[in-house]
Chain A
Amino acid sequence: MSGLPHSSLERQRRRAAWLFLLPMLIVLAGVAGWPLFRTVFFSFTDATLATLDGFQGVGLDNYLWLMRDPVWWRAVWNTLVFTVVSVGIETALGLGIALILNAHLPGRGLLRAAVLIPWAIPTVVSAQMWGWMFHDLYGVVNAILMGLGLIAEPRAWTADPDLALPVVIAVDVWKSTPFMALLILAALQMLPRDLYEAARVDGVHPVKVFFRITLPLIRPALMVAVLFRTLDALRVFDLMYVLTGNSRSTMSMSVYARQYLIDFQDVGYGSAAATLLVLVLAVATVLAVTLGRVRVDAGR
């Protein structure tokens, strides 16, 4: 018998903890760590899908080619525009919907149920649904807008290079705003009621209450939600792929990387694009954590 029974129990628990973690860590290393390592590794080679075991190192060539490809830069631009605009709109709308849901008004249950529907619909399905609504010949959007006299002739929403990205953003806003609204609503519901009582007694204008009390208090939760949505938007794939295929006018970085990896079977080059996407995500996270002071913490 060594030491106090308490500390030996503690040691036993710690040993068990690592034993319990082991299966999860092995699986994560296998499905995430190793493949990521291989992707970075392939990005310095000329590997193709057919010759994954016979390739040569090419140094930074893939990256240099990437830097000279205007289509890549277009994909980077599309991804950034998509992320900033859609997350911006989703945050504003989500905040509005959360405030309405948080006010104790009739019809609140109906609104919450309705808002959950877009969230429950698979991205691919929502892309197809909207693709059909935006159809150039038989789409309901053209029919409604023409009926209202807003457009004179039908538009090719998803084919027109100027309209395609706004359409993709609109579909994402429809699909992802509920997620934002629910996260913000959860933060709103944890705010202390007496603060609002005090503000009401003092006759503070509701708009002032919102900016001086509500917004600062929900800021941490809001920032976490914005960070998660941003990281999600930066890696967007399904929406563009289903709505507009590999079209250059909407192609995101993920679509670009996958096109080279799988369609063109150029694993080396595609891996370089994928690696750069990881770097962009890492930079975004670091910026959010340092500048935005986002604290991500299990259990708070």
Chain B
Amino acid sequence: MDPKRMIGRIAFGLLVLGIVVWAVFPFAWAIITSLKAGSALFTVEAWPSQPSLANYAAIFKEQPFGRNILNSLLAASAVVALSLGLAVLAAYALGRVRFCGRGLLLFVVLGVSMFPQVAVLSGLFELVRWLGLYNRIGSLVLSYLIFTLPFTVWVLTTFMRELPKELEEAAMVDGAGPFVIVTRVFLPLMGPALAATGLLAFIAAWNEFLFALTFTLTDDARTVPVAIALMSGASQYELPWGQIMAASVVVTVPLIGLVLLFQRRIVSGLTAGAVKG
């Protein structure tokens, strides 16, 4: 290999290394910080001289973080189940049946997913209060539908469209109606698509901040992002950075694990509708 090529190779390698460090360092630093207890927090060192899990213990003892995780899990699971159920039926109609107004409907669905959340805040607040859901998980399930439902409908529609026509025709010849076709013929084929779409919708619901911040009031009712954003320490002026980082690590590690595990599916799910998850 000639030297010019060699230098090019090395420069390229350094560039890739730089990108990897840039992408990974902040999270690595959060892990390092979370292991520092007491005054060690206030010295910048690459690895704590006395690593400690005190921050992790504190978030579950001093903060209702276990409860916050449970809230997030419940809200996100409920909204994903609801969205997928509604979206499978809608996706069949939008993806496989020709009727007038279909293009417009798809456009409206996409438009809703582009809504600024703050634009529905006052109307939703009124609705939430009227339904008696304020400071309850139900308010979050209701409001999260505004972004999970359009997303799941959109992605599943693109997927439905790809399924072979012969399958449906064969079922029709056997006298199956549309509902049977969706539930018995298509649904079993849609496992991977449902998993990928559901996972992306779950992540979106899990990460949601504005609605959760607005529709919950007490520490117990908060979801994970709100808890992490508003975590406070012994005094008002001193943020418990060690605990904030510990909480961040606890909720992010499973997400990163899932994303890395499903990375191929996620990339195809994201690009299917080019909708942000």
Residue of A nearest to B105 (CB): A21
Proximity bits, A256-300, B CB within 8 Å = 1, else 0: 011001100001001100110110010001000000000010110
Residue B232, interface by CB 8 Å: no
Is A137's CB under 8 angstroms from B229's CB? no
Is A14's CB under 8 angstroms from B99's CB? yes
Residue of A117, A119, A254, A261 with most partner-chain B CB within 10 A:
A117
Contacts of B157 in A (CB 8 A): 298-299
Residue B65, interface by CB 8 Å: no
Residue A81, interface by CB 8 Å: no
Is A20's CB under 8 angstroms from B158's CB? no
Residue A95, interface by CB 8 Å: no
Proximity bits, B183-226, A CB within 8 Å = 1, else 0: 00000000000000000000100110110011000000000111
> Bound state CA distance, A103 and B64, in angstroms?
47
B side interface size, CB within 8 A: 100
Contacts of A258 in B (CB 8 A): 118, 121, 210, 214
Residue of A16, A186, A224, A257 with most partner-chain B CB within 10 A:
A16
Given contacts A24-B149, A38-B126, A133-B29, contact A117 B90 (CB under 8 A): no
Residue A150, interface by CB 8 Å: no
Question: What is the total of A-B residue contacts with beta carbons within 8 Å?
Answer: 289
Is A132's CB under 8 angstroms from B99's CB? no
Residue A92, interface by CB 8 Å: no
Residue A151, interface by CB 8 Å: no
Proximity bits, A233-254, B CB within 8 Å = 1, else 0: 0110110011000000000011
Q: Is the interface of A mostly helix, strand, loop or mixed?
A: helix
Q: A interface, how many residues as a size bin?
A: 35 or more
Residue A112, interface by CB 8 Å: yes
Q: Which residues from 152 to 207 on chain B have a C-beta closer than 8 Å to any C-beta of chain A? A: 153-154, 157-158, 161-162, 172, 177-179, 182, 203, 206-207
Is B27's CB under 8 angstroms from A121's CB? yes
> Bound state CA distance, A41 and B105, in angstroms?
24
Give A residues with C-beta under 8 Å from B.
9, 12-14, 16-18, 20-21, 23-24, 27-28, 30-32, 34-39, 42, 47, 49, 52, 97, 100, 105, 107, 110-130, 132-133, 135, 137-138, 140, 143, 174, 178-179, 182-183, 185-186, 221, 224-225, 228-229, 231-232, 234-235, 237-238, 241-242, 253-254, 257-258, 261-262, 267, 270-271, 274-275, 277-278, 281, 285, 296, 298-299
Question: What is the CB-to-nearest-CB distance from A131 to chain B, in angstroms, rounded to a whole number?
Answer: 9
> Bound state CA distance, A270 and B275, in angstroms?
28
Is B119's CB under 8 angstroms from A278's CB? yes
Is A128's CB under 8 angstroms from B248's CB? yes
Is B29's CB under 8 angstroms from A235's CB? no
Contact of A238 among B22, B122, B210 (CB under 8 A): B210
Q: Which residues from 260 to 277 on chain B have a C-beta closer than 8 Å to any C-beta of chain A? A: 260, 263, 266-268, 270-271, 273-276
